Structure 1
Amino acid sequence: MTSTDGLRLLPFRGLRYAPDRVSSLTAVTSPPYDVVVRPEGVRHLETADPYNIVRLILPHAADPTTRHRQAAETLHHWRTEGVLRQDPEPALYVYEQRSGEVLQRGLIGALRLDGPVLPHEDVIPEVVADRAALMRAAAANFEPLLLSYRGRNGAGGATAVIERVVADDPLLATTTEDGFTHRLWAVTDPADLATIDDDLSRRQALIADGHHRWATYQRLYEQQPGATAASPWASGLVLLVDTARHPLQVRAIHRVLPHLPLATALADVAGAFRARALPGGLSAALTALEETPGTAFVLAGGRDSFHLLDRPDPELLDRTIRRDRPEAWRRLDATVLHSALLDEVWRIPDHPSDISYLHHAEAAVEHAARNGGTAVLMRATSEETVRQLAECGVTMPRKSTSFGPKPATGLVLRTLEDPHH
């Protein structure tokens, strides 16, 4: 598909839960599919309400083909029964998330795939193939991915429309288990849509969360015989957030090495890194990590065993880190961890059975303690660093950082077979 100069966010007829057919909106929503990875998480959502969205995004059956057909059939039944209803006219949707001091507002729409969208992480082909098969079977985009862009200074353009719309009553409002309040409004006025289109036509976007879904949209378009730029498959469901107005929250993603005992990990790094035992608990360890200049990690073997790694051997870095990348990439903690420690010092393959990726430090430490392994606690990379590398066309090591807050799944869906997509 030929690239365009700016972003084109297209209105669509949203598919939304009928409030009178479900116990509550809270009970039918879910975090994004890749956050609900543990079976107990799926079971918890399934039992919250028989119509919980997890039955569409993570159907479980003996084989993939059955799973994908099951999701398609479930979607068809829910639409036939009136559990999910399509809005009467195409709209862009203003979406607000709020919790304490955190306020995020953006626009949900169908983004043309030929616009300037920058990835910053590689994807796993098997995951893209599975998500593509699911979306193709269901002919639907179940959940928006999260994109950030830099809007104009001041409050004109799309921002002005958003700020005016949120003064009205929302289509829906709900509070999820994590304490976030979610509100949604439809923008259908032609003048407002034209203002948004004009503003976004000058922007480029960074994928904050959802690399696999974006690659899936592209795969689906390529596989549609005779698909044109006007096809519903030529765009995908996204949430666009102006981070000049609403900066994203950036968090680290920690690693757990279940088969590497802490004593072995420390013995192996002798001479390669400086290692120091840290007094105190997890909070003190994370504070020490944030305050350490240069490359640094915390290794944890349990709730009261923390060691700080820093000052890597320059010769080790010179030998293990590829030279054909910008200096900012070569200095990333995740680059050093994977190139020098995991690949060279510990020789741990990047397989799910050998490395787990967890978003919460407490959970990582608990997981390591339970398995007799080692948790590697990380620091977050700034959004600015991520954006600069993405603009250079450089992808970061997988699971380098986590952007949020992520949109809740289940508030608005998009069908792909409807002529008014």
Structure 2
Amino acid sequence: MPDARGSVLRLDPLRAWRFVAGKVSGLGAVTSPPYDVLEPAIVRRLTDSDLHNMVRLILPRDPDLGPARYDEPAQRLARWQQDGVVIQDDRPAMYVYEQQLGNAVLCGLVGSLQLDPERRVVLPHEEVMQHWVDDRLRLMEATDADLEPILLAYADGGAASDAVDNARAGEPWVVADTYNGAHHQIWRIDDPTTLALIADELSKHEAVIADGHHRYAAYLERQRREPGRPGAAVGLAMLVDYIRHPLTLDPIHRVVPGLSLQTVQTHTPPGWQMQPGRIEGDPDRISITDGASWLTLHSATETPTVAQLHELLLPAWGVVQEDISFHHTLADALALAGPQQVAVELAAPRMDQVLRSAAQGVVLPQKATSFGPKPRVGLLFRTL
């Protein structure tokens, strides 16, 4: 429950920006997945799909330019605004966003999230990497915008979830289809009575950050730097009642340079079961491959395997954790595996493990989970 000293979960209406259908090749063609799941092949496809694809804003090029690399997306966004390629909604609203891809459905409220530096009602569940926080903050400062909503999960939304489902019964405000086969719809809620009911319901809850820890940390840093600036105390967010509209929970795999299977075999601490091969169906396993052979480790504990990997195994193996790369698909990790660079396949933490650690103020290692489906970038965004 929210802290009795005053912090409450707040998601406020905003005047969102969106693309104008007649100014682009298609509303779906200008959208993108979030920045941190963009593999090079996807970036090329998105860049080629439309000159106005959001990847041109959220993934600044030319890292050799240093801070100046963020000037290009800022200038590009300004041109799109001046040319009417993107326009701002006339009136503040809360937005219901639904994404359907096969049997998977993402559905929830998009608005301006009141930030919670004390971690009383907006609860992170994993660590962040400072260079990515700095990267997102520089992009936010250059563009003066929140281009990608973070994703929050809460339970038993009552009147707020009823309002979401009631809105979906009407005609959508925005409709878009994306190349991956997903169908996206957005509805507006601007009725004062309904907005008041939503606000009252949300004030009774706390929410876990499901996706977007680095962006949320950047929101907090922006607020710290500009505490008196209007708009700096909130950030763009999507809030999902995961009981009524369940989220998926997948692992993020690792590639570890300089590590061999022999080192794993000889330096794994006592207490771990070690089996040759890739043992499937075990939710508490860690499977490791050099591209030719597999080794599977198992430890009988309630601690998520990703935490055990970072806290116990990697130090025992002598790994420099800053060198690790993270991959949302196992295929991408396996493509990089070799005799001196292993791929580590993880199982996803269970939802109860994530929620319990967040409620206790215990965070998992960085890139511990991949919640989904993820909101598509470019259908709605916010400027300060």
Which TM-score applies when normalising by structure 1? 0.84
CA deviation after TM superposition for structure 1 residue 174, in Å: 2.1
Partner of 1:350: 321
Change (3 A) 1:51 1:270: same
Partner of 1:58: 59
Partner of 2:312: 340
- Compute the RMSD of aligned alpha carbons: 2.2
Task: Output the CA distance in 1 between the equivalents of 2:381 and 2:30.
Answer: 13
Q: 1:256-295 counterparts in 2 under 5 A? A: 256-269=255-268, 273-278=272-277, 285=278, 288-291=279-282, 295=284
Instruction: Say which SS state the counterpart of residue 367 (structure 2) adopts.
Output: coil
Task: Output the CA distance in 1 between the equivalents of 2:310 and 2:134.
Answer: 25
Task: Answer yes or no: is the 8 Å Cα contact 1:4–1:116 preserved in 2.
Answer: no
Instruction: Say which SS state the counterpart of residue 111 (structure 1) adopts.
Output: strand
Give aligned pairs, total: 377
Task: Answer yes or no: is the 8 Å Cα contact 1:265–1:374 preserved in 2.
Answer: no
Task: Answer yes or no: is the 8 Å Cα contact 1:3–1:116 preserved in 2.
Answer: no
Change (3 A) 1:63 1:378: same
Partner of 1:212: 214
Q: Which amino acid aligns with 1:297?
A: I
Task: Output the CA distance in 2 between the equivalents of 1:225 and 1:358.
Answer: 36
Task: Output the CA distance in 2 between the equivalents of 1:161 and 1:10.
Answer: 14
Task: Output the CA distance in 1 between the equivalents of 2:5 and 2:21.
Answer: 40
Q: Mean alpha-carbon deviation: is it higher for 108-117 or for 407-416?
A: 108-117
Instruction: Say which SS state the counterpart of residue 186 (structure 2) adopts.
Output: strand
Q: Which amino acid aligns with 2:376?
A: A
Task: Output the CA distance in 2 between the equivalents of 1:224 and 1:380.
Answer: 37
- Residues 365-391 of structure 1 deviation map (CA, whole Å, 9 limit, x = unaligned): 22215x752111111111221111111
Partner of 2:329: 360
Task: Answer yes or no: is the 8 Å Cα contact 2:289–2:295 preserved in 1.
Answer: yes
Q: Which amino acid aligns with 1:30?
A: S
Equivalent residue for 2:343, pick from 368, 375, 383: 375
Instruction: Say which SS state the counterpart of residue 347 (structure 2) adopts.
Output: coil
- Residues 196-243 of structure 1 deviation map (CA, whole Å, 9 limit, x = unaligned): 11111111110001111111111111111533xxx2111100000001
Q: Which amino acid aligns with 2:296?
A: L
CA deviation after TM superposition for structure 1 residue 160, in Å: 1.4
Task: Output the CA distance in 2 between the equivalents of 1:368 and 1:340.
Answer: 22
Matched, 1:119 2:119: no
Instruction: Say which SS state the counterpart of residue 162 (structure 1) adopts.
Output: helix
Task: Output the CA distance in 2 between the equivalents of 1:3 and 1:234.
Answer: 19
Task: Output the CA distance in 1 between the equivalents of 2:5 and 2:299.
Answer: 44
Partner of 1:244: 243
Task: Output the CA distance in 2 between the equivalents of 1:218 and 1:245.
Answer: 29
Instruction: Say which SS state the counterpart of residue 309 (structure 2) adopts.
Output: helix
Task: Answer yes or no: is the 8 Å Cα contact 1:290–1:379 preserved in 2.
Answer: no
Matched, 1:173 2:175: yes
Task: Output the CA distance in 1 between the equivalents of 2:263 and 2:255.
Answer: 14
CA deviation after TM superposition for structure 1 residue 3, in Å: 7.2
CA deviation after TM superposition for structure 1 residue 76, in Å: 0.7
- Displaced runs of 4+ in structure 1, greater than 4 A? none
Task: Answer yes or no: is the 8 Å Cα contact 1:140–1:414 preserved in 2.
Answer: yes
Instruction: Say which SS state the counterpart of residue 217 (structure 2) adopts.
Output: helix
Partner of 1:307: 295
CA deviation after TM superposition for structure 1 residue 261, in Å: 3.2
Task: Output the CA distance in 2 between the equivalents of 1:120 and 1:363.
Answer: 25
Q: Mean alpha-carbon deviation: is it higher for 2-11 or for 48-57?
A: 2-11
Instruction: Say which SS state the counterpart of residue 208 (structure 1) adopts.
Output: strand
Task: Output the CA distance in 2 between the equivalents of 1:336 and 1:310.
Answer: 10
Change (3 A) 1:126 1:355: closer
Change (3 A) 1:275 1:232: same
Task: Output the CA distance in 1 between the equivalents of 2:73 and 2:360.
Answer: 39
CA deviation after TM superposition for structure 1 residue 42, in Å: 2.7
Task: Answer yes or no: is the 8 Å Cα contact 2:175–2:184 preserved in 1.
Answer: yes
How many percent identity over aligned positions? 40
Change (3 A) 1:4 1:216: farther
Instruction: Say which SS state the counterpart of residue 290 (structure 2) adopts.
Output: strand
- Residues 131-160 of structure 1 deviation map (CA, whole Å, 9 limit, x = unaligned): 1121112111101000001124xxx41111
Task: Answer yes or no: is the 8 Å Cα contact 1:289–1:379 preserved in 2.
Answer: no
Partner of 2:83: 81
Task: Output the CA distance in 2 between the equivalents of 1:273 and 1:34.
Answer: 32
Matched, 1:42 2:43: yes
Q: Which amino acid aligns with 1:301?
A: D
Specify every segment of 5 or more residues in structure 1 that has no aligned partner in the other structure, as ranges. 279-284, 313-326, 417-421
Specify every segment of 5 or more residues in structure 2 that has no aligned partner in the other structure, as ranges. none
